[in-house]
Structure formats: structure tokens, C-alpha cells
């Protein structure tokens, strides 16, 4: 009695083999009265052999498919209104993993809130491995395939997106944790202030991160939310551009309502709803002007932005002294050491905040100017301290992060 499919195939194979052997073993000389006997038997044997070979190939294919299905790794599935399977570098968290991480990063008063934005609230979390993370609870849902695409975006000056969770009515993004705070906090401090070299390095690193996003192979990634609070620092004071809550690719359709912090928003985008790489350049210009002047506006609205940009333009055309745009805490007035770099950065920042995108420089030009200013400042610092200027291959000396006020 045949018990399973494997025995069935063995039985069929045995029948075909027996019949095939019997057929080709017939000698045509044993029956001279039938001269066509061997010819008929041989043609039948060829047909049977072909069928047998085809059957064996089919069996092998079925066995290989079953083996592959049995041994392959089954991807995790995020349950939403439709089942979405993601095969990317992101870790797909479960709801319980998110809650446990938030609980481990909290205190007796509950979850520890790191900040709030237009897209959601950010909390501190701790993974089972002990790694500290930032967990952003989104106010609204975003497309899963976009975050899957961002999972492969890695750069030393971009906050790393570790994973995410999407439920039926909520979504969480998990980022690396930057314990050094944000640029707005450092500019608002009363006891210390970022040094000139550090400010130039921050601008240079931010420009490098934006340049990396804009030059992605598939489509340019527009950050869309570049501002002081989204420039974070690690414990070693390394600059990290954060918050992909609003990031878009140029291939995606734009909403009919402009998104972002209004004080940093490209005026052309506000009227045309057309997002371009120049929109990020405008945001960078506003950040640069705030960093040069040291005026960290708590709420950057249109009025505050207009006041800042108008003053910068007046300095460029000579209506105001350059001291009106200098952070008085740096005591740059009359200091020739950094005046050249200050003016070059101010010039490029004013170009970045042009109302028309056609008048703004590309991010490549911006990075070139920031990198040149950084190298000049570094060389001046080394020369003033009596050190030999090191080779470009050597790592730069550790900069003083803050100076007392």
C-alpha cells in the first residue's frame, strides 16, 4: 500500500524502468517474421525515455522548491491595513519592544521626553542590549516604503535610523541617541559658548550631510526640516543632522499644504508647493546666520526671519557694520584672525536665503566654501599655537568645544 508521495514517485519510477529495460532488451533476430519489431520497440523506448527524463526533472524541481521554502528565513511582517513585508536594513520592532524600551529609558515620572516637533514627540529609550536610543512617536502615519529606502542612508553626520514600528493607529521611529544636546541649547547657554572653530566645523559638517542626501543615486533626498534643534551632538561633540520625519525624495508627490517650521521654510516652496534641493539650501542659510550672530530665536517665525535676513543683507551692502552680525561673545570686533572666514561665510549665507531659488548656490558650492573656511580657521589656530601645519592625511587636532563667557 502506497503511504505517501515519495513512495508514489518510487513506484512510478520502478514501473517505467522495468518497462524500459524490457523494451530495449528485445533482440530483433529472435523473430524473423516481424522485421519491423525492433524498429517499433525502439521508437517506443525513446518516447518512454523522454517522458521518464521529464518526470525526473519535474520531481527534482519540486524537491528543490520545497527544500528552499523550508530553509529560507521568513521575513517579519508588519500588520497594518495591508500586510507589508520589508526586506531592508531596518529592524522592525514589535509594540511590546517599543514599550519596554520606553519604560527602560524613563524614570519614576514615566517616559522621558527629549523634545517635541511638528511631526511628533521624541522620548529616550533603552534597548535590551543597553544601547540608548531616541524613540519618536509620530503624530501621523508615513509610507513604509519610504522608511525602508532611508534605512540604507548612512553617513557620519546623519543620525542613524535604527528601526521602526507601525501599528494600525500609531507609528514609532527609533534613532541613535545623541547625548550632547542640540545646537539651540548650546547657543542659549549662559556659561559657555561654542568657539569660532567649532561653529565653522558645525556648518561644514551640516553642509556635507545635506550634500550627501542631495546626491543619492536613486533620487535626491530633501531633508526639509533643517534647523538649530535638528542639529545634534554626540558625547564627543560630533555633529549629527537629525529628524527624517519630514524628509522627502524628489520623486514623491508633495502635499498641497507646505510642511516644516515656518521660520526656516523656503518662501518659494510656500507659494508654489514645489520642493527642490534649493529649499534645504535656504534652511541652511538661516541656520548659518543664527550661528554667526549667536541669536538663537526661540520661535523662528516670519517676522524674526525677515529681521535676521534684512540685517545680514544690510551688512553685505555696507549699510551696517559687520559687528551687527557678530556674536558679541566671540569678541570678533577688531580681531583680524577670523574676519576673513566670517565674511566669506556671511556672504554665502546671504546668497542661500535669496527669495528665489535661482539666486541660491548649490549645496556643492556651499560645502566648498564651508570646507575652505574650516581649513583656513584650522590652519590659523595651528599657526597661532606655534604648531606645524599637519599633513591633510593626518587627523585634525582636538578643538576646544566651548569657551567660558
The SS3 assignment for 222 reads: strand
Give the single-character DSSP code of 86. -
Task: Please state the rounded mean pLDDT for residues 282-286.
Answer: 96
pLDDT digits (tens, 9 = 90+) for 52-103: 777 777 777 777 776 666 554 433 433 333 333 344 578 889 999 999 999 9
Contact 132, 179 (CB under 8 A): yes
Gap between the terminal Cα atoms of the chain: 94
Of 250 and 184, the one with more pLDDT: 184
Task: Please state the rounded mean pLDDT for residues 94-117.
Answer: 86
252 C-beta neighbours (distance < 10 Å), count: 13
CA–centroid distance for 24 within its chain: 68
Cα dihedral sign, 304-310-314-317: positive
Buried b (16+ CB within 10 A) or exposed e, 25-41: eeeeeeeeeeeeebeeb
Cα dihedral sign, 157-159-160-166: negative
Of 20, 27, 11, 16, the closest CA to residue 44 belongs to 20
Give start and end residues of each alpha helix (H) in 72-176. Answer: 95-105, 144-150
Give the single-character DSSP code of 81. S
- Cα 336 from Cα 252, distance rounded (Å): 47
pLDDT digits (tens, 9 = 90+) for 354-404: 999 999 999 999 999 999 999 998 888 888 776 544 444 444 444 444 444
| 125 φ/ψ angles, rounded to the nearest 5 degrees | -140, 160
405 — pLDDT class (breaks 50, 70, 90): very low
The SS3 assignment for 116 reads: strand
| 170 φ/ψ angles, rounded to the nearest 5 degrees | -155, 160
Q: From edge to edge, which strands make up the β-sheet containing 161-166?
A: 91-92, 161-166, 171-176, 132-138, 120-126, 113-116
117: pLDDT strictly greater than 80: no
Contact 59, 10 (CB under 8 A): no
Contact 157, 239 (CB under 8 A): yes
Q: What is the pLDDT of residue 6?
A: 55
pLDDT digits (tens, 9 = 90+) for 222-244: 888 899 999 999 999 999 999 76
Provide the whole-model pTM: 0.71
Q: What is the pLDDT of residue 30?
A: 47
DSSP letter for each residue of 268-284: HHHHH----HHHHHHHH
| 343 φ/ψ angles, rounded to the nearest 5 degrees | -65, -40
203 — pLDDT class (breaks 50, 70, 90): very high
Chain mean pLDDT for the chain: 77
- Cα 252 from Cα 53, distance rounded (Å): 52
Contact 366, 352 (CB under 8 A): yes
- Cα 288 from Cα 310, distance rounded (Å): 14
Cα dihedral sign, 300-302-306-312: positive
Of 371, 358, 90, 89, the closest CA to residue 210 belongs to 371
Amino acid at each position: 500500500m502506497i503511504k505517501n508521495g515519495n513512495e508514489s514517485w518510487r513506484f512510478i519510477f520502478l514501473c517505467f524502468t522495468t518497462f524500459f529495460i524490457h523494451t530495449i532488451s528485445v533482440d530483433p533476430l529472435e523473430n524473423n517474421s516481424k522485421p519491423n519489431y525492433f524498429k517499433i520497440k525502439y521508437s517506443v523506448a525513446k518516447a518512454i525515455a523522454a517522458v521518464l527524463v521529464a518526470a525526473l526533472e519535474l520531481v527534482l524541481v519540486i524537491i528543490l522548491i520545497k527544500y528552499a521554502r523550508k530553509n529560507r528565513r521568513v521575513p517579519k511582517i508588519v500588520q497594518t491595513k495591508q500586510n507589508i513585508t520589508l526586506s531592508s536594513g531596518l529592524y522592525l520592532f514589535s509594540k511590546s519592544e517599543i514599550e519596554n524600551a520606553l519604560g527602560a529609558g524613563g524614570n519614576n515620572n514615566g517616559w522621558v521626553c527629549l523634545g517635541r516637533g511638528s511631526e511628533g514627540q521624541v522620548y529616550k529609550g533603552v534597548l535590551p542590549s543597553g544601547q540608548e536610543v531616541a524613540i519618536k512617536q509620530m503624530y501621523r502615519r508615513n509610507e513604509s516604503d519610504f522608511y525602508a529606502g532611508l534605512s540604507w542612508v548612512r553617513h557620519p553626520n546623519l543620525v542613524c535610523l535604527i528601526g521602526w514600528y507601525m501599528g494600525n493607529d500609531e507609528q514609532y521611529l527609533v534613532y541613535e541617541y545623541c547625548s550632547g544636546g542640540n545646537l539651540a541649547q548650546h547657543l542659549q547657554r549662559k556659561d559657555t559658548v561654542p568657539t569660532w572653530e567649532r561653529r565653522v566645523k558645525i556648518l561644514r559638517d551640516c553642509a556635507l550631510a545635506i550634500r550627501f542626501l542631495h546626491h543619492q543615486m536613486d533620487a535626491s533626498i530633501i531633508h526639509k526640516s533643517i534647523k538649530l534643534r535638528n542639529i545634534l551632538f554626540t558625547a564627543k561633540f560630533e555633529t549629527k543632522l537629525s529628524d527624517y520625519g519630514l524628509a522627502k525624495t524628489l520623486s514623491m508627490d508633495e502635499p498641497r499644504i507646505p510642511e516644516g517650521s515656518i521660520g526656516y521654510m523656503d518662501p518659494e516652496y510656500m507659494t508654489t508647493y514645489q520642493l527642490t534641493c534649493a529649499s534645504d539650501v535656504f534652511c541652511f542659510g538661516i541656520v548659518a546666520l543664527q550661528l554667526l550672530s549667536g541669536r538663537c530665536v526661540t520661535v523662528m517665525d516670519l517676522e524674526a526671519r525677515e529681521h535676521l535676513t534684512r540685517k545680514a543683507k544690510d551688512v553685505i551692502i555696507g549699510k551696517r557694520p559687520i559687528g551687527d552680525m557678530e556674536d558679541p561673545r566671540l569678541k570678533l570686533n577688531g580681531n583680524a584672525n577670523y574676519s576673513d572666514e566670517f565674511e566669506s561665510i556671511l556672504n554665502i549665507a546671504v546668497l542661500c536665503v535669496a527669495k528665489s531659488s535661482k539666486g541660491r548656490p548649490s549645496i556643492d558650492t556651499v560645502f566648498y566654501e564651508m570646507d575652505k573656511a574650516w581649513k583656513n580657521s584650522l590652519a590659523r589656530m595651528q599657526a597661532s599655537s606655534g604648531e606645524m601645519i599637519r599633513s591633510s592625511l593626518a587627523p585634525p587636532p582636538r578643538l576646544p568645544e566651548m569657551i567660558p563667557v
